[in-house]
């Protein structure tokens, strides 16, 4: 889908807190991603045995820079919904229509939204996002996204299969707003970001197209349907089309902190519900409620999520023994035409870090 940028690559580093170490030459796990031409830049944060290290590779890529984290946003939204369940304000197996009347099928439950088993139609493939240059400045309202989806038939009967669908989390975001009477971004900020002290994580304001603070540039094909189309800098864009399905910004270290401390955000009963999984198209991956269970080569699993949005791709998660890792790249997989090769490299970095 995508091709490599022309230009030299180099390691990047900067001063970091004393409790965190920067990689020494020859020991940078994300350098192979850049060296193989799979992405213009890559970043990582790895925590194990109480020690955390930050890495960066590529031209002008700051260590622990902020990136758009795409669908990792879903894990944040799911935590908020499950907190509302714990507070008795939302019924997990109750009809989503109770909270979001635009959902006409009364059989669709809140659980099915969070687990991608609702059958709701997808909206992202109907916005012209494959030619991002044409819509990068457009602001989408949440109900625009839902209306786009609901103009099409359901993908399947509710609860009969798994199909990853961003519409589910647009509805989940609207549910949060309906129940609390407050914007979903405010609820995420108060209930998750501030509670965990995530200093680099934020929800871009309405109309905000740039990234705050230190960050690497992000790149994309002008036409994702044409792998030979020109590569552009897509760092500045309106991310509103992702909304509660993918609008957040964070650093690798904040993703590590989030997934490592996620269990502390929920009562045991709701954490157990979050970890009840269904099978997916990948044999080593199962999906819970906004949380993915990924098998490790050394045995066991880690809990996390991936994210992809124009300019950036992320994968992050944590094990129950306190190890955690996050990797970010400055382009979606496939800029070079080998998306599976890039995904394999990134998953390998996470696997090695957590084993």
User: What pLDDT does 1 receive?
Assistant: 28
Token pair, residue 249, equals: 């910004």
Helix axes 142-150, 167-180, angle to 10 degrees: 130
Q: How many CB atoms lie within 10 A of CB 236?
A: 14
CATH 3.40.710.10 at 1-355, yes or no: yes
Question: Tokens 């809990």 sit at which residue?
Answer: 303
HSE-CB at 64 with a 13 A cutoff on CA atoms is: 23
**DSSP labels for 33-65?**
HHHTTS-SEEEEEEEETTEEEEEEEETT--TT-
Active site residue 240: no
Which of these is catalytic: 71, 78, 229, 293? 71
Task: For residue 44, report the phi and psi dihedrals to the nearest 5 degrees.
Answer: -155, 155
Cα separation, 84 vs 51, whole angstroms = 34
Task: For residue 306, report the phi and psi dihedrals to the nearest 5 degrees.
Answer: -115, 170
- From first to last of its 355 residues, what are the pLDDT tens digits of the chain? 233 322 222 233 333 343 556 655 558 999 999 998 878 999 999 999 999 999 999 999 999 999 999 999 999 999 999 999 999 999 999 999 999 999 999 999 999 999 999 999 999 999 999 999 999 999 999 999 999 999 999 999 999 999 999 999 999 999 999 999 999 999 999 999 999 999 999 999 999 999 999 999 999 999 988 888 999 999 999 999 999 999 999 999 999 999 999 999 999 999 999 999 999 999 999 999 999 999 999 999 999 999 999 999 999 999 999 999 999 999 998 777 688 888 899 999 999 999 9
Cα separation, 33 vs 24, whole angstroms = 17
Cα separation, 14 vs 24, whole angstroms = 12
Q: How many residues does the chain have?
A: 355
User: What pLDDT does 26 receive?
Assistant: 54
User: What pLDDT does 177 receive?
Assistant: 99
Q: Using the Cα atoms of residue 122, residue 128, residue 133 and residue 134 in order, give the sign of their dihedral.
A: negative
User: What pLDDT does 245 receive?
Assistant: 99
Contact by Cβ (8 Å): 235, 218: yes
HSE-CB at 102 with a 13 A cutoff on CA atoms is: 19
Cα separation, 330 vs 218, whole angstroms = 5
How far CA 40 is from CA of 29, 145, 299, 327, 328, in Å, comes to 15, 31, 32, 14, 11
Q: How many helices (H) and strands (E) does the chain have?
A: 11, 13
User: What pLDDT does 2 receive?
Assistant: 32
Three-state DSSP state, 278: strand
How far CA 66 is from CA of 70, 189, 215, 258, in Å, comes to 12, 16, 5, 14
Q: If residue 342 lies in a helix (H) or strand (E), which one and from where to where? A: helix 339-354
Q: How many CB atoms lie within 10 A of CB 137?
A: 11
HSE-CB at 66 with a 13 A cutoff on CA atoms is: 17
Question: Tokens 């909270």 sit at which residue?
Answer: 99
User: What pLDDT does 22 receive?
Assistant: 60
Distance linking the first and last C-alpha atoms of the chain: 31
Would you give the DSSP letter of residue 198? -
User: What pLDDT does 23 receive?
Assistant: 56
């Amino acid at each position: 889908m995508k091709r490599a940028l022309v230009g030299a690559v180099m390691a990047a580093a900067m001063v970091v807190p004393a409790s965190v170490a920067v990689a020494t030459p020859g020991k940078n796990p994300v350098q192979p991603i850049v060296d193989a031409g799979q992405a213009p830049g890559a970043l990582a944060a790895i925590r194990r045995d109480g020690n955390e290290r930050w890495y960066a590779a590529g031209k002008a890529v700051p260590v622990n820079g902020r990136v758009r984290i795409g669908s990792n946003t879903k894990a944040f939204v799911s935590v908020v919904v499950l907190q509302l369940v714990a507070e008795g304000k939302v019924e997990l197996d109750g009809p989503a229509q109770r909270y979001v009347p635009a959902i006409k099928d009364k059989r669709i439950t809140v659980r099915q939204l969070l687990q991608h088993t609702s059958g709701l139609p997808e909206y992202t493939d109907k916005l012209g996002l494959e030619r991002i240059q044409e819509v990068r400045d457009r602001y989408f309202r949440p109900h625009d996204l839902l209306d786009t989806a609901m103009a099409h038939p359901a993908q399947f009967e509710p609860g009969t299969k798994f199909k990853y669908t961003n519409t589910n989390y647009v509805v989940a975001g609207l549910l949060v707003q309906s129940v609390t009477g407050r914007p979903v971004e405010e609820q995420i900020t108060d209930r998750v970001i501030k509670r965990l002290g995530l200093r680099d994580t934020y929800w871009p304001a309405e109309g905000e197209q740039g990234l705050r603070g230190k960050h690497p540039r992000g790149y994309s094909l002008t036409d994702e349907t044409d792998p030979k189309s020109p590569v552009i800098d897509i760092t500045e864009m309106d991310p509103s089309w992702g909304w509660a399905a993918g609008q957040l910004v964070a650093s690798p270290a904040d993703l590590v902190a989030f997934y490592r401390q996620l269990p502390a955000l929920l009562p045991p009963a709701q954490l157990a519900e979050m970890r009840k999984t269904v099978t997916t198209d990948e044999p080593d991956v199962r999906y819970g409620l906004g949380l993915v269970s990924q098998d490790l080569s050394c045995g066991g699993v880690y809990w996390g999520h991936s994210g992809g949005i124009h300019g950036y791709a992320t994968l992050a998660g944590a094990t129950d023994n306190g190890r955690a890792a996050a990797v970010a790249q400055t382009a979606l997989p496939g800029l070079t035409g080998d998306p599976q090769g890039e995904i394999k490299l990134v998953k390998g970095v996470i696997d090695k870090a957590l084993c």
